Chains A and B, each alone.
Chain A
Amino acid sequence: DGGITQSPKYLFRKEGQNVTLSCEQNLNHDAMYWYRQDPGQGLRLIYYSQIVNDFQKGDIAEGYSVSREKKESFPLTVTSAQKNPTAFYLCASSRPGTGGYGYTFGSGTRLTVV
Chain B
Amino acid sequence: QKEVEQDPGPLSVPEGAIVSLNCTYSNSAFQYFMWYRQYSRKGPELLMYTYSSGNKEDGRFTAQVDKSSKYISLFIRDSQPSDSATYLCAMSVVVTGTASKLTFGTGTRLQVTL
**Most chain A Cβ neighbours within 10 Å, of B44, B94, B102:** B102
B41→A98 contact, CB < 8 A: no
Return the contact of A31 from the options B91, B99, B106 (Cβ within 8 A): B99
Indicate whether A99 sits within 8 Å of B106 (C-beta atoms), given known contacts A42-B88, A108-B41: no
* Number of chain A residues close to chain B: CB under 8 A: 33
A90→B100 contact, CB < 8 A: no
B104→A100 contact, CB < 8 A: no
- On chain B, the residues within 8 Å of A40 by CB distance are 8, 106
- On chain A, the residues within 8 Å of B101 by CB distance are 45, 48, 58, 100
- On chain B, the residues within 8 Å of A97 by CB distance are 97-98
A99→B92 contact, CB < 8 A: yes
Q: What interface size band does chain B fall in?
A: 20 to 34
A106→B41 contact, CB < 8 A: no
For the complex of A and B, the 5 pairs showing the least CB-CB separation, nearest first, are A100-B92, A105-B43, A101-B49, A100-B100, A42-B104
* Chain B interface residues toward A at CB < 8 A: 4, 6, 8, 31-32, 34, 41-46, 49, 51, 88, 90-102, 104-107
Question: What are 28 pairs between A and B in contact, CB < 8 Å?
Answer: A4-B43, A30-B99, A33-B99, A35-B104, A41-B106, A42-B4, A42-B88, A42-B106, A43-B104, A44-B104, A48-B101, A56-B95, A88-B41, A90-B43, A96-B97, A97-B98, A98-B100, A99-B32, A99-B100, A100-B49, A100-B91, A100-B93, A100-B101, A101-B49, A103-B102, A105-B45, A107-B43, A110-B41
